[in-house]
Amino acid sequence: MPGYDMLLDQTDAVNELLARYGVKFGIYKNGTFNEQLFPFDPIPRIIEAGEFDYLERGLKQRVVALNMFLKDIYSKKQIVKDKVIPEDFIFASSGYMAECEDVTPVKDIYSHISGIDLVKGKDDHWYILEDNLRVPSGASYPMIARNLCRRCSPETFRDTRLQDNRDYAKLLRRTMDNVNVGGESVVLTPGRYNSAYFEHSYLAEQTGSILVSGHELFVDDDKLYYRTADGGKTRVGVVYRRISDDFMDPMNFNPESLIGIPHIYDVIRKGNLALMNAIGNGVADDKGIYYFVPKMIKYYLGEEPVLSNAPTYLPFYEEDMKYTLDKFDNLVLKDVAEAGGYGVVFGNKMTKEQKASFIELLKKEPRRFIAQEVIDFQDLDIIEGNERVARKADLRAFVLMADEPLVWKSGLTRFSRNPDSFIVNSSQGGGFKDTWVLSH
């Protein structure tokens, strides 16, 4: 195993640099925006080359199938007609958007950037917990952490056979250029008070794109333009958007949106703009749809899934409802419309009254929840004070869809700082690590 002792001695220096560079995330709580540092732990997650090759195969397979599903579900809906997925799971999904029917993105690519969350069980198997195909975030944190770690402890990286993760910006730019219809590449941010604003600005800088807010873009003659400082205009060919679907276009979606661009979706409909990721992708990362992804892989690709889902049950089905109620105390229940670690409850953590109330809601709204076996996933060491302690950690892998699927040989490893918690999200107080993928 590679040595990182010298790097551990530079922990304080790395975190001071992260603070100086403003590596933060923000959360709204009780109507107030609070910005805080994203705690970094210097002990890296280490993935052997052969193990990552296996992950790469499974991740490419999954994202290709999900893109095929999105194209199908907004056009012929053959997977529904063939009764692989019940109709209810499509049209009842909060992520399904009827406005996207028969709107095909440039080059048929829907999810240009997919964030796939995995955990490694104590049985040494990897399990996929969640697919994120809307506006997945987090790549910037290991990017800048690796750069700062290299600066603080160059010897560590000189002596380690390690994949260089500094190519993410190159992969992202390749993804943007692949669908650019002619014009500037821009990163669209909702603004300074968004939780991931650091990432928006960092990725714009690293890819050589223009960081813009909605008021700097406008539609003219069925094309999108950027308003230049001298009052002129420049055509935009691709938008890497960090704004959620509803707020992208007040003329087509939420009319109260102040951060979107009026009529931008009309430009997309005409094929005059590429948008990363496509509007309407939420139907594919609905936690209820997650149950069906292995079936999608078999249906669209004729292949067995390389990577496994966590064992999952749909109370929507009578048999699964019975199992969920019988094994309630051994399961984790998730609200399919929630994200960021919210809407997750553990059966064995509820009081008798909470359990009774939840079961009543479950029976009333079975489509709203999934139940999963609690995977006893591996702990990773972190530094807490002067001690090494073990904490739960997951991995967000990034798959980019350019002229071919590209898996970044790195990723965001998040860990819980609470010894009793399985929830690792930054919004729930978690921290992050670098992910070292070793070279062959």
Please write the tens of the pLDDT for every residue from 316-358.
Answer: 999 999 999 999 999 999 998 777 667 889 999 899 999 999 9
pLDDT bracket for residue 245 (50, 70, 90): very high
Total Cβ atoms within 10 A of residue 418: 14
Look up residue 364 and give its two tokens: 């009333």
Specify whether the CB–CB gap between 290 and 117 falls below 8 A.
no
CA dihedral 121, 127, 132, 137 (to 10 degrees): 30
Q: Where are the alpha helices (DSSP H) in 74-194?
A: 78-81, 88-91, 140-152, 154-158, 168-179
Classify residue 181 as exposed, middle or buried by CB count within 10 Å of its CB (0-12, 13-18, 19+): middle
pTM attached to this predicted model: 0.93
Q: Where are the alpha helices (DSSP H) in 74-135?
A: 78-81, 88-91
Tens digit of each residue's pLDDT (9 = 90 or more) over 46-105: 999 999 999 999 999 999 999 999 999 999 999 999 999 999 889 988 899 999 999 999
Residue 56 CA to its chain's centroid (Å): 16
> How far is it, in rounded angstroms, from Cα 433 to Cα 44?
6
DSSP tally for the chain: helices H, then strands E:
14, 21
How much is the mean pLDDT over the chain? 91
Q: Give the bridge partners for 24, in sequence order.
A: 37
Look up residue 240 and give its two tokens: 């890497």
pLDDT bracket for residue 377 (50, 70, 90): confident
* pLDDT in the model for residue 30: 62
